[in-house]
Structure 1
Amino acid sequence: SAPWSVLCYYAEEISLRVPLQVVTAPIANWSEHLLSSLSLPNPLCQEVPNPPPDYYTCQFRTNKLERFLGSEDKDTFFKTTQRHQVLYEILARTPYGCVKKGEVGIDRLISEQVFTAAYPLHELPNPPVPKHSLGLRQILHQYWSKWSCWRRYQPLDHIREYFGEKIALYFAWIGFYTGWLLPASLIGTLIFLVGLWLVATDIPAKEVCESGDTFIMCPLCNICSAWNYSSICNTYKAGLLFDNGGTVFFSVFMSLWAVTFLEYWKRTCAALSHRWDCSDFQDIEERPRPEFTAMAPMTMRNPVTGAEEPYFPEKKRFNRTVTGCMVIIIMATLTDFCSQAGRIASLSGSVLNLIVILLLSRVYITLAHILTRWEMHRTQTKYEDMFILKVFIFQFVNFYSSPVYIAFFKGRFVGYPGNYNTLFGVRNEDCGVGGCLIELAQELLVIMVGKQLINNIQEFISPKVKSWWQKKKMHPRLKEKKDKALDEVHTEEELSPWEADYQLLVCEGLFNEYLEMVLQFGFITIFVAACPLAPLFALINNWVEIRLDAQKFVTEYRRPVVERAQDIGIWFPILQFITHMAVLSNAFLIAFTSSFVPRLYYRYTRDSTLRGYVNFTLATSPQNYSHQYHNTSCRYRGFRDEKGEHLPEYFHLLAIRLSFVIIFEHLVFFIGRLIDMVVPDIPEEVEMKIKREHYMAKEALAENQVQYLRLLTPQPQSDSPLVELNEISDETDPTNDC
C-alpha cells in the first residue's frame, strides 16, 4: 500500500468519498416491503454475514480529517478498493519516457508488452472459520456464486465492496431484470395455456380438420404440387398456441412492461448510485488511451491541464467515422440479403441459420474493433461507447434480420396464381402451410433458446479450458522455480499470491454480458406477440447466467481494477431504443401478421361464431391458371376475386390494420409517457438522504472553517498553531517533493 500522506493526496485528487455518519435506516427492496406488509415469509432472503454499513459521505479533504468517521485508525480508514484505486492512479500517471509522446502509465507499458499484466490481488482462501470471520471473497463464494443460491437475493453491497461499483451495477441490473421477468413469464405462460384451450374449442380449426377435400390449395413454389388444406390440421392447431386473442393483451402488457421496467430501473439505479457514493461521480478529465497516445500523429496543448498531449484532428476522425458508417450499412445490407437469399434457395433452416448467425457475430465484433481503433478516439469511455454502438448495430441486424423478414416481408410480395412476382428469376417465397406466425415463433425459439444454450455451455466450459491452458503455460516456470529451490513437491499453496492469481484468467469485462442480455431483451419485447413463452425461457436462462457470471468473477478471473460508475452507461439508451422498436413491431405483428384483425372483422361483419371463416380467408385461382392444372381451381390465402383483383374486404382490412397500428402505438406511448411523468426518477427517500448528506457536509465544512479562523487568530499564550497547520499541509501534500 502507499504511505498515508500519498493516500490522502490522491484521495483528494480523485474525489474519493469517505464516511461522516452511519445511516441507521434499514436497506430493503420492494419485494421485502411487500412480503413483510402481507406478513408472509420471504423465501428469497438470506442472512449474509458482515453486511457493509451504509454511510452518509462527502468528498475527502485532508484538512477535515478529524471530522470523518474512523479517521483515528489510518490502517482501516480507506477501504481496500479505495487503496487499489489510489495505487492504480499512481501507476497510470507515472511517466516512463517522453510525456509529449504519451509514454505515461502502466496501461501503455502493458500495451507495449513491457509487462504482461497488472492486477490487484484476490483475498487468499481461508481455512474453515466462523461465519463472522469470513473475508469478502469467501462470503461471495459461499452466499452468491454457489448454485444453491439461485433463488436468493444477491449480496450487492458485498459485491460492490470487493469488485467496485461498475461490476456491482451490472449484477444489480441483471438481478432487477430477472425479477421483472417473473410476472412477464407468468402471464406469457397463462396466454400459452389459453392457446391450448382454444385448440380444442376453435371453430375455424375444426373446419380445417373436417374440410376433407373441400379446399385444394395452390402450390407454394414452382416445383411444388397442390395440397389439401385439411392436411395441416395439427399445424393449424399449433399456430393457435401463438396466434390468439390473448397475444394482443400480452403485446400491450409487454410494451408497458418494458417502459415501466426502464423507469423503475432508473429509480433503483439512483438509489444504488447514492448508496454507493457514485451519484456525483463524473470523470471530468479522462486520460488518453494507450493506443491513442502511441498512434496519434501530432501533439496539442490540453485546454484543461495546459500540458502537451497527443492529438488527432477531429476532421480526420469525422471522415473515418463516416467511412465506418458506410461499412456498417454495407455489412447490414449484406447480412439481410444473405438471410433472404438463403431462405429463397431453401438452404438454411432455423438451426443452420443460428449457426451462421453465431459465426457472423464473431466476424462483426472483430470488424467493430478494427473500425473503432481506426477512428482514433482519445479516451477509453468514448472508445467503448462507439465500439458498443457498432457491435449493437451489427448484432441487431445479424440476430433480428431473419425474424423481421419472416414477420414483415415473407409472403407479402408473392402475387397470385398466374401472376407470381419474382426476384432474380426466382419466385418470391410464400409463407409455409401453417402461416408466417408459427414460422416466426419457431425461428425465435431456435435462435433465442439455441443462442442462450450455446452461450451457457461456452461460459461453463471455456473458462475451465482456458484456465487449464494458462496453468500449463505456467508449469515450466514453476518447475524451474522448484528446481532452484530444490523442493521435492511444489503445490499451489506454496505459490506466491501474485503467481497464484496470474494463473487465473484475464477479466474480460462486462461487454459480452451486457450484449447477451440486451439482445435477449430485444427478443422478449420486439417479437413477443409471436412467442408468449419467450420471457419464461429468458427467466430460466438468467438464473443460470447469474451463477455462471458470479463463479467467473469470484473463482476464475483475476481481480479487476475497481471502476466507479453511476449507471449502466450507453446500454440504457440502447434499451430505450429497443423498447420503442418493440411497440411498433408488436403493433405491425398483430395487425398484419397475426389473424387477429381478420377474425375480428369477420366476427362483426359476418358471423360471431366464426363459422365459414376459413373459406372467407381463401381466394380462388384465376381461370387461366386453373387450365394448367386440368381445369381444377385451387385456393390460396388472400382477398382477391377470380380475376386477381383485390376485393373490397382487402381495403377494409387494410384500413382497420393501419388504424390498429396507430391506436396501439399512440396508446402505449401515451401510457408510457404518463408513467414517466408520474413516477419520479429519484425516489423521495433518496432525495431526502441526498439533502441530509449535503447538509452534513456543509456543517463539517463550516465547523472546519471556524476552527481554521481560530487557528489564524494570534494567541499569546500558545505556540503558533499556524505553523502546525503548515506542517500538516506539507506532510500530506506529496507535490511539495516534486
Structure 2
Amino acid sequence: MLIPAAVVGLLCFLFGIFSLNTDIAVDDICNMDIIMCPRCDKYCDYWRLSESCTYAKIQHFIDNPATIFFAVFMSFWATLYMELWKRYSSEIAHRWGLTGFDLLAEPPRPEYLMKLANAKKRKLNVVTLIEEPAVSYWKVKLPSMILSFSVVMLWILLTLAVVFGITVYRMSLMTSEIIYSYSIHYTIYTVPVIAACVNLICIQLLSFLYEKLAHKLTEMEIHRTQTEYDDSHTLKSYLFQFVNYYSSIFYIAFLKGKFVGYPAKYNRIFGFRQEECNPGGCLMELSIQLGIIMIGKQAINSLLEMTIPLAIKMYKTFKVSTGIERAEKETQQNIIICCNQWTEDYKLNEFSQTCLFQEYLEMVLQYGFVTIFVTAFPLAPLFALLNNIFEMRLDAQKFLKYYRRPVPTRVKNIGVWYQIMTTVGRISVISNAFILAFSSNFIPKLVYVMKLSEDHTERGYLNHSLAVFDVMDFEKGTAPEKSVFSNITTCRYPEYRSGPDEDPKYKRPLIYWQIMVARLAFIVAYQNLVSFVIMAVQWAIPDMPRKLNDQIKKEAYRTNEMILQYEAQQAKEKVRKRYRTAGSMSHLSQEEEGNDSRKSSSNRSSSLYYDAVA
C-alpha cells in the first residue's frame, strides 16, 4: 500500500522542484532588499531577508500547490488501507478457522492462575463450563487500573516537560548567536537540526525506561487472558509513545510562531522570547523535525534489532561451548558442544510477546508519521517504503537465525491495534487540515490573489505579509547594542499588523481577520470533503469479500445439513431397535392372535418409525 503513496509523494516533491523558478514569492525573498527585525533581544542584529533565500527555495519543495492534492490523496489512502486490511484480516481469520472464535474460549494466562492459586472466589466460564479463579472488579481490578493509568499520565507529563525543555534550549541558542559569532544561516539550519537530534535521543531514552514500567503496570492489573493483557499493555504503551514521538512535531506545527507578539511587546517565557518562524513559515522546520525523528528512529531500531539478538546468541553459544552453563547449574556430567539440533536451538533467544509487540509498535508509529504529518513531509511514504523493504529481510533473518520457534496463539484479529490505527487516521484528517491552514502559506496567498492583487498573481504578496516596525518603539533594553547597519529607522517582521504611522499602531487590521475566517472555512470544507470521500470508500468496499461471505454461508449450510443427517441417522437406529423388539414380540404372539394381530403390530411400528424420523 505504500507504493502508490510513495509515488504520488515523490511526484508532488518533483513538482515543487520544477515549479521553483516560476514562484513569485521565492523570487521576491531572494531579490528584494528588506531589513528584518532582530531574532533575539539585545545581542542579535538586524538581518537581510535575502539571507534566507535557500531556506525559502527548499520550503517550496514542500509547500506548493500540489500539497493540497497530496493531503486529500493521503486521507483517501488511509481510509482505503484500513478497509482493505479488514478484508484481508477476515480472509486470514477464515483460513485459520477463527471466524467464530470467542475471547471467553481463550485459556487463562499461567501468570493469572499462579497469582490466584489460593483465591477463594470462583466463577463459571459460560463457554468452557469450567470453574476458574476470579478477582473482584471493584476492589482489585478497578483500583489497579486507576493507579496504572495515573502513572501513564505522569510519564506523559514528563514527556511534555522534555519537549518544553528543548524549546527553552532552542530559545537560548537564539540568544547565543551573537556571543559565538554565528551567522543567520546557523540559526535557520543548524538550530533545528541540533534540537531535533537532542529530541530523538530523549525519545529513545524515555521509550526504553517506559517499556520496562509498562509491563509491570499491566501485570499489576491481573488480566485473565493473553489477549486482554496485550490490549491493555498496547493501549498504555501507545498513549505514551504517541506523545513521546509526536509532541515536538505538534508544537512546531500548531504552536511555534503563532503567539510571538511584536517587537514592541513580545510574549515571553522565563524571560525568553518565543521562537519565531521564518517569513516563509514553519513548514520547513517541521519537515526537518519529522525527517530526523522518523528516519533516525527507523535506523536506530534496525541497528538494535540486529545487534542485540546476535550478541545474546553469541554469548549463549560461548556459555554452552565452554561449559560455563554446566558450572552454573552443576547438574550436567559432560560438556555439551553443539552435538545435536536441540543444543543448537538452546543457544537461540527465547521468543517473547514483547518481540511481536515491538514490531507492531514500529509499524503503527510509522503509520502515524505517514498520515498525520504527511503534508509537511511528502517523502515520508517513500522513506517508509524503503525502510520496510529492508525491514522485512532483516526481520526474516532475525526470526530464523536468532530466535527460537515461537509458540502460536489463537487470536481473531490484531486486537486494539486496529482501533488505534483507525483513530490515527481520523486525527490525520484534522492535523493535515490545520497544517495547511495555519502552518502553510496557502490560505494567505489565496486571499491575497483573490482579494487584493490587481493582476490576481502573487506579485507583491511578500511585501504585503511583512509588517513595518519603528526601531524607536523597541522595549527598553531589547534593541540591538551593536549593528552593522547604519541609519536604520524601520524593520520588518512576519505579521499582519498596522504600521507605526497608523492610529492605533501595531493592531490587527481587517485583512488579518479575513484570512482567519478563510482558514477556518478551509478547515471545515476540507474535513467535509475528506469525510465524504471516507464515507464513500467505506460504503463501496464491504468489510468481507463477497466470495468469502458466500463461502462462509455455504460452509454453515453444509454443517447444518450434516448435523441434521446425523440426527436423522441416530433416530433411524433407535427406531430400528424398537422395530426389531416389536417384531420379535409380534412373532411370539402370532400363533395366538393370528394374521390380523401381526398386521396391527406392524402398523404400530411403522407409525413409531415415522414419528421418530419426523
Alignment coverage as a number of residue pairs: 533
Structure-1 residue corresponding to 2:549 = 687
Say which is worse superposed, 664-673 or 591-600, in terms of deviation.
Answer: 664-673
Q: Which letter does structure 1 place at the counterpart of 2:289?
A: E
Quick one: which of 540, 559, 567 aligns to 1:697?
A: 559
- What is the deviation of 1:390? 0.5
Equivalent residues of 1:208, 1:614 under 8 A apart: yes
Structure 2 unaligned blocks of 5 or more: 174-193, 481-486, 500-504, 582-614
TM-score, normalising length: structure 1: 0.69
Change over 3 Å in CA distance of 1:460–1:684 after alignment to 2: same
Match of 1:632 in 2: 489
Give the alignment partner of residue 202 of structure 1, picking from 23, 32, 38: 23
- Does structure 2 retain, via aligned residues, the 8 Å contact 1:418–1:622? no
Contact 1:626/1:634, CA 8 A, preserved across alignment: no
Q: 1:581 aligns with which of 427, 436, 445?
A: 427
* Residues 303/715 of structure 1: CA separation in 2 closer, same or farther (3 Å cut): closer
Aligned-partner Cα distance in 2 for 1:578–1:486: 56
Deviation at 1:432, TM superposition (A): 4.4
Q: For 1:666, give the aligned amino acid.
A: N
Q: 2:347 aligns with which of 503, 510, 526?
A: 503
> How far is the alpha carbon of 1:622 from its aligned partner?
4.2
Tell me, in whole angstroms, the C-alpha distance in 2 between the residues paired with 1:334 and 1:571: 25
Partner of residue 186, structure 1: 7
Q: Which residue of 1 aligns with 2:195?
A: 349
Per-residue CA deviation, residues 229-277 of structure 1 (Å, 9 max, x unaligned), is 0111111100101111111110111011101110111111112221222
CA–CA distance in structure 1, aligned partners of residues 470 and 334 of structure 2: 94
Matched, 1:649 2:511: yes
Paired with 1:653 and 1:398, the residues of 2 have a C-alpha distance of 33
C-alpha distance in 2, partners of 1:446/1:551? Answer: 27
The two structures, once aligned, show a CA RMSD in angstroms of 2.5
How many Å apart are 1:599 and its aligned residue?
Answer: 1.1
Shift of 1:486: 8.1
Residues 453, 711 of structure 1: CA spacing in aligned structure 2 closer, same or farther, 3 A cutoff? same
Matches within 5 A, 1:497-646: 497-509=341-353, 510-607=356-453, 608-622=456-470, 624-625=472-473, 628=479, 632-642=489-499, 643-646=505-508
- 1:328/1:394 contact within 8 Å kept: yes
Q: Which secondary structure state, in structure 2, belongs to the residue aligned with residue 440 of structure 1? A: helix
Q: Retained in 1: the 8 A contact 2:372–2:427?
A: yes
Structure 1 contact 414–428 (Cα < 8 Å) conserved: yes
Opposite residue 23 of structure 2, the aligned amino acid is: D
Partner secondary structure for residue 299 of structure 1: coil
Q: 132, 154, 157: which one pairs with 1:333?
A: 157
Cα distance, 1:377 vs. partner? 2.4
Determine whether 1:373 maps to 2:192: no
The answer on 1:668 being equivalent to 2:530 is yes
Name the structure 1 match of 2:205: 359
Deviates more, 1:243-252 or 1:498-507: 498-507
Which has the higher mean CA deviation after the structures are superposed, 278-287 or 526-535?
278-287
Q: Which amino acid aligns with 2:530?
A: V
CA contact (8 A) 1:299 1:308 kept: no
Deviations 1:488-522 (A, max 9, x none): xx763x22x43322211111331000000000000
Residue 469 (1) aligns with residue 312 (2): no
The alpha-carbon deviation at position 552 of structure 1 amounts to 2.4
Matched, 1:234 2:82: no
Deviates more, 1:663-672 or 1:249-258: 663-672
Q: Is the contact made by 1:302 and 1:309 (CA closer than 8 Å) also made in structure 2?
A: yes
Q: Which residue identity lines up with residue 70 of structure 2 in the other structure?
A: F
- The structure that has the greater radius of gyration is 2
2:261 matched residue in structure 1: 415
Provide the residue aligned with 2:598 in structure 1.
none
1:726-737 alignment, distance < 5 Å: none
Residue identity in the other structure for 2:57: K
Q: SS of the counterpart of 2:375?
A: helix
Choose from 316, 319, 324 the match for 2:143: 319
Q: Is the 8 A contact 1:621 1:635 kept in 2?
A: yes
Stretch of structure 1 that moved more, 641-650 or 308-317: 308-317
The CA deviation at 1:306 is: 5.9
Structure 1 residues 471 and 654, CA gap change in structure 2 (3 angstroms): same
1:678 is aligned to 540
Q: SS at 2:120's partner residue?
A: strand
Work out the percentage of aligned pairs sharing the same amino acid: 39
Contact 2:279/2:494 (8 A) holds in 1: no
Q: Distance in 1 between matches of 2:508 and 2:579?
A: 106
Alpha-carbon displacement from aligned partner over 1:169-228 (angstroms, at most 9, x marks no partner): xxxxxxxxxxx10000000000000010122221111111111xx311111222322110
Are 1:659 and 2:507 counterparts? no
Provide closer, same or farther for how the CA distance between residues 215 and 367 of structure 1 changes in structure 2, counting only shifts above 3 A.
same
The amino acid of 2:496's aligned partner reads: F
Please give the alpha-carbon distance, in whole angstroms, between the structure 1 residues aligned to 2:202 and 2:278: 22
Q: 1:252 aligns with which of 72, 76, 80?
A: 72
Residue equivalent to 1:218? 37
Distance 1:683 1:485 in 2: 60
Q: Could you tell me how far apart the structure 2 residues matched to 1:498 and 1:592 are?
A: 61
Query: Deviation of residue 609 (structure 1)?
Result: 2.4
The range that moved more, 366-375 or 438-447, is: 366-375
Partner of 2:228: 382
User: One-letter code of the match for 1:208?
Assistant: I
Question: Does structure 2 conserve the Cα–Cα contact (< 8 Å) formed by 1:626 and 1:632?
Answer: no
CA distance in 1, matches of 2:324, 2:416: 43
Match of 1:730 in 2: none
- 2:544 partner letter: I
Q: Tell me the CA shift for residue 718 of structure 1.
A: 10
The structure with more helix, counted as a fraction of residues:
2
1:291 equivalent in structure 2 = 111
Q: How does 1:2-17 map to 2 (within 5 A)?
A: none
Say whether residues 1:303 and 2:124 are aligned partners: yes
Unaligned runs of 5+ in 1: 1-179, 720-738
- Which amino acid is 1:360 matched to? L
Aligned CA distance change for structure 1 residues 717 and 337 (closer, same or farther; 3 Å): closer
Distance 1:716 1:645, change over 3 A: closer
Letter in 1 for 2:31: E
Letter in 2 for 1:625: D
The one of 280, 284, 296 aligned to 1:450:
296
* TM-fit CA distance, 1:449: 0.7
Which residues in structure 2 correspond to 1:146-185 (within 5 Å)? 180-185=1-6
Distance 2:324 2:474 in 1: 82
* Residue type at the aligned position of 1:543: I
